[in-house]
Structure 1
Amino acid sequence: MRPFDGPAIIGLSGGPDSLALVAAAAAEGKDVRAVVVDHGLQEGSADVTRRAVAAAERMGVPAEVVRVEVGAAPGESVEAVAREARYAALAEAANRDGREIWVAHTREDQAETLLLGALRGNPAGMAPVSVLESGPRLVRPFLTTRRADTAGACEELGLGAWHDPMNDDLAYQRVSIRKRILPALAEVLGGDAVPALARTADRIAADQAYIEQSADLTPTADCAALAAAPAPIRQRRIMAWLRERGISVSGAQLADIERLCTDWRGQGPVTISGGVRVERRGGGLNVDKQA
């Protein structure tokens, strides 16, 4: 925690990772306050948030509850929509008095993020520090910390961490990776797979940060400009253009959209979920949302 000074808000769920982060910040006298986001997705969520606030306040950290609405459209991931709503709420709270946002992602989260991204064709890693489009810095002080250590700290301190039942639901891809894939990889390797996966994710995050600092990644739909750019730049500029329109794509879909610029032969539009299509029109990319 010592390299991070804040002032900051901490995204607190009441689980062991975020409770341990609040405890560490309190022990080191950091200028922090906690924000507990209630998504209202589970029965009893209001009670969970009250207990999280009480735990933070017992450690001398002021805390508040922010309630958000999570409405996923057909074909959208409820998990992804909830995450977007959560970060929007944290950013709003941080921007009120110029604070950073601290979240308690661990080494396991980094490894899981790499595998999830790779399976979707977009391998990714989380940076220790990044900046959200809405303004505040996003800091991950526990990115080199193991999940067993946060759970152990909460047990030692008697914090009574909440266990989210969604973390046992194999219908969620991240949970399935955590409970099925990582143990299977450990069996194949004859040892813990998390450190190697997390180091790979660290390198990807560092590469991404370098590219962001060194290249023009502004959104564009200009096919000529995109075709002339190196592939890593082209892909990021297309992704930025899509994000502006609230669209996320898989790796295969991104490759098809790229070909609208680099290998144009009059092909038809690329179909995305939710009735969205990306097509080439008049030398540029265009989004068509079907009713």
Structure 2
Amino acid sequence: MEELVERRRGKLHPAIARAREAVRATLAELPHGTTVLVACSGGTDSLALAAVTAFEAPKLGLRAGAVVVDHGLQPDSAHIAATAAEQCRTLGLEPVLVRAVEVGSDGGPEAAARAARYDALRDAADELAADVVLLAHTRDDQAETVLLGLGRGSGARSLAGMAPAVGLLRRPFLEVPRATTAAACIASGLRPWHDPHNDDPQYTRVRVRHEVLPVLEEALGPGVVEALARTAGLLRADADALDLLAADVAETALSRAESEVRAEVGVLTDEPAAIRTRVLRQAALEAGCRATDLTAGHIASVEALVTDWRGQRWIDLPQGVRAIRKGGFIILGPDVTG
């Protein structure tokens, strides 16, 4: 492999070096003996992550394995998953699990596949007593996520993109360009699988990748992807701070009784909109709304029950949840209008 040739020359390919540095920074925070799993599809980004993790984890006293999720969305998906799993084993990852999932339809094909994949990853982590699952999202993925949130008219939390760490999930490549992972695969002699869905314009993310971002680069100059990813980081810090403040208010403003969640109007009225809407969103989620279906428009309508009360009727929310104002409270639940 080219990496071995370069090592003999005393030089490591810059793309491999950058990928290793990113993964090393993530793994260095973990206690000795931690089990780490790489979510690997066999594609360029995840295969590069698998190779780098297999190299770095043992040096830090960590156990590194992999999980390959077969979404069953293509006729040869089982073969693709088996090939990815064998590549992971060849790299030195062990254990390597293949998990077949059924992809539903809630939220559209992309959201449904993502939900099924994350469920499978969490189940695999439980089975293997793994503390961390590494995901291969790159800086380019982050930029696309920001643009998707912007197109939906989402708030700061959505525009903050993907977090580097949430629960057992870690994303060490969020500041690494996609071109770097591709170069790392080439330099290492790896042969990634190319998912045809990544070129299918029926998917919104694909259109953003191949149509929107190139236009922005042409109009605004190079560096748009980096700027969008940097913006996500800045907004995430702001959103985290506001979430903490909103959590404190929610402790006072929200109460729960069986299937209902109540938000006290008197507490919310004097709060800034950024805090009030976060509390109401939390109330809607606790009442049964799914985060993927709950939009900023829904929350604005519920907020109007606090700030622009004119005796309006209830607000319909996802998953059959309704919000209505009664006796100084916004009441949210599946049967609050009776």
So what's the TM-score if we normalise by structure 1?
Answer: 0.88
Distance 1:273 1:212 in 2: 22
- What amino acid sits opposite 2:330 in the alignment? G
- Structure 1 gap segments, 5+ residues each: 132-136
For residue 82 of structure 1, report the CA deviation from its aligned partner: 1.6
The one-character-per-residue Cα deviations of 1:107-135 (angstroms, maximum 9, x if unpaired) are 0111111111111122232221222xxxx
Aligned to 1:16, which of 36, 44, 47? 44
Contact in 1 for aligned 2:246/2:278 (Cα 8 Å): no
Identity %: 42
Determine the structure 1 residue equivalent to 2:172: 141
Report matched runs for 1:38-49 at 5 Å: 38-49=70-81
Cα gap change, 1:45 to 1:239, in 2 (>3 Å):
farther
Contact in 2 for aligned 1:186/1:193 (Cα 8 Å): yes
Structure 1 position 69 matched with structure 2 position 110: no
Structure 1 position 222 matched with structure 2 position 258: no
Distance 2:194 2:188 in 1: 16
Larger relative helix fraction:
2
Structure 1 position 178 matched with structure 2 position 222: no
Q: State which drifts further: 76-85 or 17-26.
A: 76-85
For residue 230 of structure 1, report the CA deviation from its aligned partner: 2.7
Structure 1 position 278 matched with structure 2 position 309: no
SS of match in other structure, 2:312: coil
Determine the structure 2 residue equivalent to 1:124: 160
Contact in 2 for aligned 1:257/1:278 (Cα 8 Å): no
**Alignment: residue pair count:** 281
Distance 2:195 2:282 in 1: 33
For residue 175 of structure 1, report the CA deviation from its aligned partner: 1.0
- What amino acid sits opposite 1:153 in the alignment? A
- What amino acid sits opposite 2:146 in the alignment? L
- What amino acid sits opposite 1:286 in the alignment? L
Aligned to 1:113, which of 128, 145, 160? 145
Report matched runs for 1:1-291 at 5 Å: 1-5=23-27, 6=30, 7=34, 8-28=36-56, 29=58, 30-62=62-94, 63-73=96-106, 76-96=107-127, 97-122=129-154, 123-131=159-167, 137-216=168-247, 220=254, 221-224=262-265, 225-244=267-286, 245-247=288-290, 248-272=293-317, 276=320, 278-282=322-326, 283-288=329-334
Contact in 2 for aligned 1:223/1:261 (Cα 8 Å): no
Distance 1:200 1:150 in 2: 22
- What amino acid sits opposite 1:64 in the alignment? L
For residue 49 of structure 1, report the CA deviation from its aligned partner: 0.5
Distance 2:160 2:303 in 1: 19
Q: State which drifts further: 142-151 or 162-171.
A: 162-171
For residue 240 of structure 1, report the CA deviation from its aligned partner: 2.8
So what's the TM-score if we normalise by structure 2?
Answer: 0.76
Cα gap change, 1:253 to 1:60, in 2 (>3 Å):
same
Contact in 1 for aligned 2:216/2:224 (Cα 8 Å): yes
- What amino acid sits opposite 2:297 in the alignment? A
Q: State which drifts further: 122-131 or 40-49.
A: 122-131
Distance 2:91 2:71 in 1: 24
Contact in 2 for aligned 1:127/1:206 (Cα 8 Å): no
Contact in 2 for aligned 1:269/1:277 (Cα 8 Å): no
The one-character-per-residue Cα deviations of 1:38-77 (angstroms, maximum 9, x if unpaired) are 121222111111011011000000211112222214xx31
- What amino acid sits opposite 1:65 in the alignment? V
Contact in 2 for aligned 1:110/1:143 (Cα 8 Å): yes
For residue 284 of structure 1, report the CA deviation from its aligned partner: 2.2
- Structure 2 gap segments, 5+ residues each: 1-22, 255-261
The one-character-per-residue Cα deviations of 1:206-248 (angstroms, maximum 9, x if unpaired) are 2223334454165844141443433222222333333341422
